[in-house]
Amino acid sequence: MRKKSIKDLSCKDQRVLMRVDFNVPLDAQGGVMDDRRIQMALPSIRQVVEGGGRLILMSHLGRPKGTGEEPSFSLKPAADRLADLLGPKHPVTFAGDCVGPESKASVAALQPGGVVVLENLRFHGEEKGNDAGFADSLAAHADIYVNDAFGTAHRDHASMVGVPEHMGDRPRVAGLLMLKELEYLSTAVEEAKSPFYAVLGGAKVSDKIGAIRHLLDRVDVILVGGAMAYTFMKSQGLAVGSSLVEEDMVDMASALLAQANDAGKVIRLPGDHRCAESMDDGEHARSCELGIPPGLMGLDIGPETADEWSREIASAKTVVWNGPLGVFEKPPFDEGTRAVAEGIVKATRHRAVSIVGGGETAAAVEALGLASKFSHVSTGGGASLELLEGKSFRSVELLEEA
Let me know: does 159 contact 136? Beta carbons within 8 Å.
no
Let me know: does 94 contact 107? Beta carbons within 8 Å.
no
CA–CA gap between residue 373 and residue 23 (Å, rounded):
24
The number of residues in the chain equals 402
Is residue 204 among the annotated active site residues?
Answer: yes
CA–CA gap between residue 273 and residue 291 (Å, rounded):
8
Is residue 317 among the annotated active site residues?
Answer: no
- The answer for 215, left when phi > 0, alpha when psi is -120 to 50, beta otherwise, is alpha
CA–CA gap between residue 333 and residue 335 (Å, rounded):
6
CA–CA gap between residue 218 and residue 190 (Å, rounded):
8
Is residue 359 among the annotated active site residues?
Answer: yes
Task: Exactly one of 151, 298, 357, 359 is catalytic; name it.
Answer: 359
Q: Which of 222, 214, 193, 209 is nearest to 318 (CA)?
A: 193
Strands (E), 84-174: 92-94, 115-117, 144-147, 172-174
In the chain the first and final C-alpha atoms are separated, in Å, by 9
Task: Exactly one of 373, 382, 390, 394 is catalytic; name it.
Answer: 382
Task: Exactly one of 7, 204, 317, 330 is catalytic; name it.
Answer: 204
10 Å Cβ neighbour count for 336? 30
Is residue 349 among the annotated active site residues?
Answer: no
Query: Taking the CA of residue 362 as centre, how many other CA atoms within 13 Å lie in the half-sphere pointing to its CB?
Result: 17
Task: Exactly one of 37, 54, 155, 338 is catalytic; name it.
Answer: 37
CA angle 79, 82, 87 (to 5 degrees): 125
What does the radius of gyration of the chain's CA atoms come to, in whole angstroms? 23
CA distances from 381 to 39, 157, 181, 193 (A): 18, 17, 12, 24
Let me know: does 152 contact 378? Beta carbons within 8 Å.
no
Catalytic residues: 37, 204, 359, 382
